[in-house]
Structure 1
Amino acid sequence: ELVYGQILGAMATDGILYIVICLMSAKLCNLLPGIAAIVGQLVMAAIWASCAHKWYYTTFPPQKTAVVYDVRHGMEKLINEYGLSQKYDVQVTLSVSECLADLTILDGMETVFVSGVHSHERNIILKHCVGKGINMFVIPRVGDVIMSGAWPMHMFHLPMLRVGRYMASPEFLFVKRAMDIVISLAALIILSPLFLITAIAVKSDGGPAFYKQVRLTKDGKQFEILKFRSMRVDAEKDGVARLSTGDKDDRITKVGHIIRACRLDELPQLLNILKGDLSVVGPRPERPEIAAQYCEEMPEFALRLQAKAGLTGYAQVYGKYNTTPYDKLQMDLMYIAHPSLIEDLKIMLATVKILFMPESTEGVAEGATTAMGQQCEETGK
């Protein structure tokens, strides 16, 4: 991933430099020197990343780690699927009851990961780890994420934490909206040729170029999201709202596979941003019927509606398309709890990188109408 980021950075920098040189010389310059420079940079980036990786893990060997879990499935997923064992030396895995029975098991560990443990039990482990100088990482529950955005204050001679709804300042919201307008307008102008080419390609099968769909944004307000059509016109002729299953989905057209892989189907949403329905960064806008299904399983899912929906977001960048709804919910609530323009800029830059990562466009399991259906299959519910 480090090499991938270096390659994208080099290509973007060289591309901008080439445009500047062409503008200054008032003519198209020879591309061969630029291509040679990019190839050289790619080789150097690969060598540098490999050497840096080896040096880092030689200088800072994996820390001795214990994993304390409440549900074994969650622990196994953390270690195996999320790659914890690749970066940490996992020496002990134990249930919370085993840990509380003998906290000295954690002594000698440098790091402890706590997954799915209730607050009372977790606090006991936390006090022990802090007392012993052990780093502790907590996989939070929804309530923990909300509490992380609390405002510390003093009232009635007591320390207090103020917890409430999305508490972004008016100044923050004003600047965020100004950024949305500038970015969407600039992107529409710069990408207008690509916009036109994509529209013509989509319309080649005889159907409409655009696809409108009702989605939810801040406070449950409904709006019509605009996308390039990537599926057959009769994709939902049975009336059932369902998420895509990725490349296996036979509803996706030939052009649709291409524009989905490059995320070009999302381009018309720039018009939604300019109009004010969406923000550049925010929680993913869900369909009302799918959001209702999520809320039946997870009432906390409605908390995502505290902020305006976005073209890209925390969960889209740091999760996968088929990451479980509960994990995505926590990511979005983490973003909502800590509003920051710097974080918005980081997410925008990270979005450029994931545009070309195949796993970011994966779908849900075949036969599942929503990602919740896939989560139930994975957990055996």
Structure 2
Amino acid sequence: MPKISIVTPAYNCEKYLEEAVNSVLAQSFEDWELLIIDDCSKDATWLRMQTLAKKDNRIRIFQNQHNSGSAATRNNGIRQARGEWIAFLDSDDLWRPEKLQRQMSVLRKHPDAAFLFTGSAFIEDDGMTIAHVLHVPEKVSRKKLLKQNVISCSSVLIRRELMLEFPMPEEDGIHEDFATWLAILSKIPCAYGVDEPLLVYRRALASKSGKKGKSAHMNWQTYIKAGVPTVSRVYYMVSYTLHGLSKYSMLWWRSYRLMMRKERFKKLFLMIMNALLLLAWTSVFAHAWYQKYNYKAIIGRQYSFWGYVALFVLYAALNILIGKVFSVFRVVHQQYIEILLSHGFTVILANAATYIELALIGRWRFRMHIAPMIAVAAINLLIGLVWSLLVRWLYANIYPAHEVLLIYGKNNMESLEEELLKQGERFHLKTRISLKEGREAIIREIRRHESVMLGEMPEEERTFYIRYCFEQKKRCYCQTTLADILLMSSEKISLSDKTLQLFRNCGLTVEQRAAKRVFDVAFSALVLVLLSWLYLILALYVRIAAGAPILTKRECLTRNGKHFWQYKFRTMKPGKTIENQDPWIPGGYFLMVSHLDELPQFFNVLKGDMSVVGPYPEQVESAEHIQKKLPEFTYRQAIKAGLTGYAKVHGKYSSSKSNQLKMDFYYIQNYSFALDLSIIASTLKVLLEPSVSRRK
């Protein structure tokens, strides 16, 4: 005879039933039987029950002759039960694996206990976890229970003879489980609680308990059923209402936060916050305009209403354009130094451009009427920084780190796990599971997590889990492969009713190469002219501090595997490498970490050996070594090597060669002049950020 009989009423629950049954099968306490009673479901619940019964001979299934309701179905299960104890589990709820074990352990401390229950955690209808726990007292008497029902039906464990003596009322309009607990506690002194969330309650707003007005009326009727006097009923209803407001307001807020975490609401939240920032910035400029510039004697003309609108829209558009380039609206996961630099560059450039526009309209001499625009820039910078802190705080509270399930194959995932730990504000690595565990176990884990991350694995497995996550509306992160990059950059072609993807390996077009070369020459010449004084100072410093030579040169690879000599200011002593002890000339380490040693590469750009933006130039010897392990590394040679690049900006000199290849290949396949400008702008931020690792 089993120790515990678990009764599960089932009605139109094919969607959830298997997950509930699996939570029973996972129990560490194994002396149980599970009775599933179908209450004449209209879907495939009965067929699902038959399949589940084959999993374990401890599962027994029954079917009512007609639809009887949950109370009658539970009573039917109690009569069929053979165990000493009765437990209930609704078909859409779940148990933690240690639920029964923890409750049975209470009996060792309280051998006279006949009624036990536990705390609860909560999930949404789609399985997403709500960050709320229902705590329960160690003991609860009938009088205390009248004030607040803290006993969830799916958490109880009750002696069978009590349930036979006090079956659940089979009438409508009351909380049948609450009425049963009150009836039982009229005979025994108390029920014993385990204050742990061993029950996972699925919150469905369409249920009886989800409609709070109706639930309150049912509570009143339950008091009448329990024989509570009128005056006492009023007192207990007030207590019930106050406790309910406290409980469900917190649950609502955390459920609201969970709803907002869904992708469509996240984008809406960020869009609203970005709009508020632009409105604040434009308002500051509008105030300065009306107070300082909107005079014919200053601006030279009187504007109409639509002139004002055009001016303010142009100002907002400038901030959007420059802000996009410097990623000013993507503050959520940036470091604080990145936020400061992004806002600094955006505010300075946007307001400088606006001042030039006003100066041209008013025909001012340089620096005339500049003070108001400096004030606007300073105030907007302060607003931007405060806004960034506010957005980060709200985002962290509404969108806490995603609980990630990592699915991995044979390869070591240590590097990926280290990166996830570094990104703790974005990802919480909750569970790891190997492909060896099988698809059934992995799917069960996917359902319990909001996000899934796929490590390196066979393409068939990868495709299966991506598709499954998509169907289940789960976030799925995958490590990018070269094939993914090719697919992203391919061209879609329609052939009658068929769709083809066109893949090409032709590098940059003639027009793109020509435009890129014109920009390289113009930009390099401008830098060399503007910074000529700095070149002279650095050359004199190296000559005085370390003697000749001033420059070093390395044989590197550029487009189509062509060899060239890359120039840098010397930072190391002759014959020394970075692996040696004390290899630097005086001030050499500073020149290296500040990237000032790379300034002579603009001469390489003028000569045509390099481009301003492109893959990092690898030395010939190291490139040959890398290509033996990673043959695809030659894909980077489709364009000229660059002084800065996509991999430099995003990897910040610390990426593995495999990841560097993927980032450079992405840049080549998705090249545009706008992307070049974005990389140059991001380089300005990277140069001013603290160095994260040594360059090699």
Letter of the 2:392 counterpart: H
Report the equivalent of 1:160: 500
For 2:566, which of 225, 242, 257 is the aligned residue? 225
Describe the shift of the 1:42–1:150 C-alpha distance in structure 2 as closer, same or farther (beyond 3 A): closer
Unaligned runs of 5+ in 2: 1-333, 360-364
Distance 1:9 1:80 in 2: 27
Maintained 8 Å contact 1:320/1:362: no
Distance 1:268 1:165 in 2: 32
Q: How big is each residue's C-alpha offset from its partner over 1:33-85, in whole Å with a ceiling of 9 and x where there is no partner?
A: x89x97x88876654433321111222233343221224632x4323334344
Secondary structure in structure 1 of the residue aligned to 2:643: strand
State the TM-score, normalized to the length of structure 1.
0.80
Work out whether 1:113 is the aligned partner of 2:453.
yes
Secondary structure in structure 2 of the residue aligned to 1:227: strand
Distance 2:649 2:656 in 1: 14
Describe the shift of the 1:63–1:249 C-alpha distance in structure 2 as closer, same or farther (beyond 3 A): same
Where do 1:208-357 residues align within 5 Å?
208-235=549-576, 244-245=578-579, 250-357=582-689
1:287 to partner: Cα distance: 0.9
For 1:171, which of 511, 525, 538 is the aligned residue? 511
Report the equivalent of 1:144: 484
1:154 to partner: Cα distance: 4.0
Bigger radius of gyration among the two? 2
Secondary structure in structure 2 of the residue aligned to 1:289: helix
1:361 to partner: Cα distance: 5.0
Report the equivalent of 2:417: 79
Distance 1:341 1:173 in 2: 10
Letter of the 2:650 counterpart: Y
Report the equivalent of 2:76: none
Distance 1:84 1:14 in 2: 30
Work out whether 1:24 is the aligned partner of 2:357.
no
Describe the shift of the 1:283–1:166 C-alpha distance in structure 2 as closer, same or farther (beyond 3 A): farther
Identity in percent: 27
Maintained 8 Å contact 1:261/1:356: no
Higher relative contact order (CA 8 A, sep 6+): 1
Maintained 8 Å contact 1:142/1:300: no
1:143 to partner: Cα distance: 3.5
Work out whether 1:98 is the aligned partner of 2:437.
yes
State the TM-score, normalized to the length of structure 2.
0.46
Maintained 8 Å contact 1:177/1:279: yes
Report the equivalent of 2:405: 66
Maintained 8 Å contact 1:282/1:307: yes
Maintained 8 Å contact 1:68/1:112: yes
Distance 2:503 2:455 in 1: 24
Q: How big is each residue's C-alpha offset from its partner over 1:260-296, in whole Å with a ceiling of 9 and x where there is no partner?
A: 1211111011111122111111100111111001011
Maintained 8 Å contact 1:146/1:163: yes
Maintained 8 Å contact 2:593/2:694: no
Report the equivalent of 1:88: 427
Maintained 8 Å contact 1:354/1:360: no
Secondary structure in structure 2 of the residue aligned to 1:326: helix
Secondary structure in structure 1 of the residue aligned to 2:660: helix
Report the equivalent of 1:379: none
1:302 to partner: Cα distance: 1.3
Unaligned runs of 5+ in 1: 237-243, 365-381
